[in-house]
């Protein structure tokens, strides 16, 4: 009897919550085994997350998308593009220089630049008052700072940004999980965004089921990203 290789995500039994390692395994499997490019997965994730937000905002809402240097930031850029396509007012701030972004995030940065969509780069630490002023102008904030791969405490500028988001009182859509929340344990890694809604990709994360995690995730919506339907969370 032929068995599937260890680590093959088809050995999972969804729908159920996924660990950090399982999320990574699904991404690798989708890209390397079934041939779905990571940019396609990112496009599907960002478009689905944008749809979650569009169901909640009025037509003249101002949305601020905050992007980190990794693929979570790339997801945020896709969200921004689809909000713009839906004629919402959107702006993007990257907390990294464009030459320090992950390859897929860098592609999304170039796309936004080509479209002329407003985006800034804030690679250096920023005073709290400046962050507060930035957030005060938004009706909604999209958290694309840090993804499921985080396993150590948030430090430096991104910690300051997370604390400013929480201080602002603005409603927040978190992408995949609230930045700073441990994927497996559901506790803040030093600090974490307190989201209003979380658009999580493929399936819920194990940490979401931990006591107290709901205070950070808010309402959770599972967004398909294009892997076969039997692997989607429900």
Q: What is the pLDDT of residues 8-67, one digit of tens each?
A: 555 444 467 899 999 988 888 888 888 999 999 999 999 999 999 999 999 999 999 999
- Collapsing DSSP to helix, strand or coil, 205 comes out as strand
Single out the residue of 17, 19, 24, 55 nearest to residue 41, CA to CA: 24
Taking the C-alpha atoms of residue 145 and residue 150, their distance in angstroms, rounded to an integer, is 11
Cα 73 to chain centroid distance, Å, stands at: 7
Strands 197-201 and 219-223, bridge-based pairing: parallel
Residue 83 buriedness (CB in 10 A; 0-12 / 13-18 / 19+): buried
- pLDDT at residue 15, rounded to an integer: 61
Taking the C-alpha atoms of residue 181 and residue 192, their distance in angstroms, rounded to an integer, is 5
Q: Could you tell me where the DSSP H helices lie in the chain?
A: 20-32, 38-54, 71-85, 103-115, 128-136, 156-168, 214-217
- HSE-CB at 36 with a 13 A cutoff on CA atoms is 16
- Collapsing DSSP to helix, strand or coil, 67 comes out as strand
Report the pLDDT averaged over residues 155-174: 97
The answer to whether 80 touches 54, Cβ cutoff 8 Å, is: no
Taking the C-alpha atoms of residue 229 and residue 215, their distance in angstroms, rounded to an integer, is 29
Q: Inform me whether the pLDDT recorded for 233 exceeds 50.
A: no
> Two tokens at 123?
């690679």
Q: Inform me whether the pLDDT recorded for 69 exceeds 60.
A: yes
Taking the C-alpha atoms of residue 121 and residue 67, their distance in angstroms, rounded to an integer, is 9
> Two tokens at 11?
């050995």
pLDDT digits (tens, 9 = 90+) for 103-156: 999 999 999 999 999 999 998 888 999 999 999 999 999 999 999 999 999 999
């Amino acid at each position: 009897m032929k068995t599937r290789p260890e680590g093959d995500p088809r050995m999972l039994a969804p729908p159920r919550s996924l660990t950090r390692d399982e999320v990574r395994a699904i991404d690798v499997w989708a890209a390397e085994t079934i041939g779905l490019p990571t940019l396609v997965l990112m496009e599907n994730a960002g478009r689905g997350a944008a749809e979650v937000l569009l169901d909640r905002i009025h037509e003249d809402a101002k949305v601020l998308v905050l992007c980190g240097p990794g693929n979570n930031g790339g997801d945020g850029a896709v969200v921004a593009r689809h909000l713009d396509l839906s004629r919402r007012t959107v702006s993007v701030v990257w907390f990294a220089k464009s030459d320090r972004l992950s390859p897929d995030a860098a592609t999304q940065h170039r796309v936004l630049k080509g479209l002329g969509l407003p985006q800034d780069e804030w690679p250096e630490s920023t005073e709290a008052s400046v962050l507060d002023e930035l957030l005060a102008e938004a009706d909604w904030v999209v958290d694309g700072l840090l993804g499921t791969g985080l396993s150590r405490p948030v430090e430096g500028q991104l910690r300051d940004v997370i604390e400013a988001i929480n201080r602002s009182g603005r409603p927040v859509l978190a992408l995949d999980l609230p930045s700073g929340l441990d994927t497996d344990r559901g506790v803040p890694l030093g600090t974490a965004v307190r989201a209003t809604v979380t658009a999580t990709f493929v399936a819920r994360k194990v940490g979401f089921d931990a006591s107290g995690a709901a205070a950070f995730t808010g309402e959770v919506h599972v967004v398909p990203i294009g892997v076969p339907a039997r692997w989607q969370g429900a």
